[in-house]
Structure 1
């Protein structure tokens, strides 16, 4: 039988929640930049997000609880750990998530610790690792000779990966900084470079030209 849930926030719950926040901060630093770590205070489901590290989802502190959080509030027997389930960010990027429910001494859920891994980043990271493992001369030939559209796309991928995002998800100010970098490094002097950049960023050529101005 379900135990009655107290309407009050207990000192014990707050102490445990403070510890969960410290764990989240440590995980956030360890798993940066590709894992978002979120602490939910389920005692206030309409404003549940208490802390968010490596923000990949665009949510903010004070945003509401997710479906899993509400499910735990409704049922103390709901699974406490749900690991590595498929998820998706609002902008379409694929994610792998793990949700850990936190119970008090009475067995009631009152908080949750969630990890959301941006799996789309690993394509760019794989490219970086491949470059790193190449013999020195081959690596220099690949990265310092911007003689093809592939070189431009590869440079854009590396820039996006350094910001823990993907080329298509870059914000306007990030695109402007990227284009400045491409211009400084000589990529924009190449034939049809603007078309290549626009296609890889998923924007129009006009958007690219305006950002370069």
Structure 2
């Protein structure tokens, strides 16, 4: 698709949205990634990225939503709080806002991606804290997917009042022993999933599992 010429009006709007993106990035750090796209250049749409959580860079291409807005000016302007996922498996909550000019054409988009992993851990911790000692907790665990593995790691970390990425070496080794006993290490690509969720190398995970 040929690049559309940026009009004076669009340029003025884009400069303002850049400032909004920067302000949101500072306000919502470090748990929310804020990305500004120039939809006129879909193959190199990212103009700015604050609190980089996805690993993308300035000059990277737009997403499916950006392409949809390029093709259809009637596409919803605001898509809020939809489930998403970062490339390393972390769960996210995203909001995408299309930016139009006075003629109703999309030419930019402002996107927010919230890393909900820590919030989910805090929520679980608060829930556990508020349960009376007499309460009986029943749980069915199906260790058949990568999601269940990540959730098991989250629960282990919450039990230590920390996050998966902040586990000490001895805590990681205790985690690996628990995962081994519960059969999680038999899952396909389990070591890779564990390494990504803990934010360490696969070599470290293999060493901790010894």
Answer yes or no: same fold by TM over 0.5: yes
Q: Which moved more, 1:87-96 or 1:39-48?
A: 87-96
**1:63 paired residue number:** 60
Give yes or no for the alignment of 1:25 onto 2:50.
Answer: no
- Per-residue CA deviations over 1:61-113 (Å, capped at 9, x if unaligned) read 11001000000000111111111111111111111111100001111100000
Between the aligned partners of 1:29 and 1:60, the Cα distance in structure 2 is 18
**1:202 paired residue number:** 194
Gaps of 5+ in 2: 131-155, 180-192, 196-200
Q: Give how far 1:205 is off.
A: 9.4
Between the aligned partners of 1:96 and 1:116, the Cα distance in structure 2 is 6
**2:83 paired residue number:** 86
Between the aligned partners of 2:158 and 2:77, the Cα distance in structure 1 is 41
Pick the aligned partner of 1:121 from 109, 113, 118: 118
Q: Kindly tell me the number of residue pairs found equivalent between the two proteins.
A: 165
Between the aligned partners of 1:19 and 1:100, the Cα distance in structure 2 is 14
Between the aligned partners of 1:117 and 1:50, the Cα distance in structure 2 is 19
Within-5 A mapping of 1:38-77: 38-77=35-74
TM-score scaled by structure 2? 0.65
Between the aligned partners of 1:206 and 1:12, the Cα distance in structure 2 is 53
**1:97 paired residue number:** 94
Gaps of 5+ in 1: 134-151, 161-166, 171-177
Contact 2:36–2:46 under 8 Å retained in 1: yes
Question: Which structure has the larger Rg over C-alpha atoms?
Answer: 1
Structure 1 runs (4+) deviating above 3 angstroms are 124-130, 152-158, 197-201, 203-206, 208-211
Distance change in 2, residues 1:206/1:80 (3 Å): closer
Please give the secondary structure, in 2, of the residue aligned with 1:91.
Answer: coil
Taking only aligned residues, the RMSD between alpha carbons, in angstroms, comes to 3.5
